[in-house]
Every structure is written in structure tokens, then in C-alpha cells.
Structure 1
Amino acid sequence: MTIDTTETTLDQVGEAITDVIGPDHSAGVLTADTLLFGSLPELDSLALVELITVLEDRFGFEMDEDDINAEVFESVGSLAEYVRGQLA
């Protein structure tokens, strides 16, 4: 049996975001195309720091501060792609 790590990572990143900003956030259902920093008012700088900590703890990697940028945090999909790259 093959596990689709693309979907799994996307789902897990979405769950992490929901855990940080709460289930009643303004984006509704999070998809790969959901825009993040600058688009979700709940994802302010403090929530971003918390999200990074949650992702590091859940996935077991340490995010380099150079990777904390608009490209990585553009959307749920771009963030999930970054996480997948860290796990490879």
C-alpha cells in the first residue's frame, strides 16, 4: 500500500494552521490554494511564530530563518511543499 505523502502533508499542514489560528478562521476550508500571510488576518506575526513552532514539533525539523519568507508562506500548498522538502 502506497501512502500519498503529498495529500497527507497538505492535510497535516492545514491542521497545524487551524490549531494555531482556530477553527473559525476567515478562510473557511483550507486548500492548497488558500493564501496565508497577508491574506488571513488571524495569521499575524505572533501566530506565524507559533505556526513555525508547531510545524517544527510535528514534523521534526528546524526551520532556517532564511526560509521564513513570503514565498514559503504564500499559501497552504507552498508551505506544505516546503515541509515535504524538509522531510525528504
Structure 2
Amino acid sequence: MQILNDVLGLLDQVMGLEGRSASFTPETPLLGALAELDSMAVIAVIAALEDQFGISVADDEISAETFASVGTLVAFVNEKLAQH
């Protein structure tokens, strides 16, 4: 639950959602559903995830599926933390 809240806060901050992420659930679609999530925002979100969680994300680990929904992004972070 804490990871979910941290990811939501990070999305809000990085993409300038002005608190909109507070209403997001794990089922909330991201890529293709949020105009703010363009290719530059994906890079910024990845960098912020690396900083916040102390993880390292290789280019080949990122796919559209990673950013399909809030839940898939949180699952990705959890997986990276488990490898850490």
C-alpha cells in the first residue's frame, strides 16, 4: 500500500497532475489515457522512481506494459525492489 501511495505521489509531482492522482486506483490506465504521460514524462517518471526507491532501471526493462496502468507500474517497482 505504501508503494502505491509513493508511486501516486511521484506521478502527481512529475507530471504536474495537481492532485488528480489521489483518485487513481491500481486499475487506472496510464499510457494512452493521460495526455501528460508522453515519452519525456516516461523518462522523468523512471528517473524519479530510481531516485525515490533506490532502484536501477535498464532501458530494455521498460515497455508499454509497464506503464499500462497504475497497478502494472506498482508491480514493476515491487519487482525491482525484490531484486534489490
Query: Do both share a fold (TM > 0.5)?
Result: yes
Q: Which runs of 5+ in 1 are unaligned?
A: 1-6
| 1:78 lines up with 2:78 in the alignment | no
Q: What is the rounded CA distance, in whole Å, between the counterparts of 1:58 and 1:26 in structure 2?
A: 20
Residues 14-23 or 75-84, more deviating: 14-23
Q: Percent identity?
A: 39
Q: Any runs of at least 4 consecutive aligned residues in structure 1 with deviations exceeding 6 A, and if so which?
A: 25-28
User: For the pair shown, which has the larger CA radius of gyration, 1 or 2?
Assistant: 1
Q: Structure 2: which 5+ residue stretches go unaligned?
A: none
2:57 to 60, 63, 84: 63
Answering whether residue 48 of structure 2 is matched by residue 16 of structure 1, we say no
2:38 aligned to which of 24, 41, 44: 44
- In 1, are the aligned partners of 2:25 and 2:71 still within 8 Å (CA)? yes
Aligned length: 82
In structure 2, give the amino acid aligned to 1:9: I
If the length of structure 1 is used for normalisation, what is the TM-score?
0.84
**TM-score by structure 2 length?**
0.87
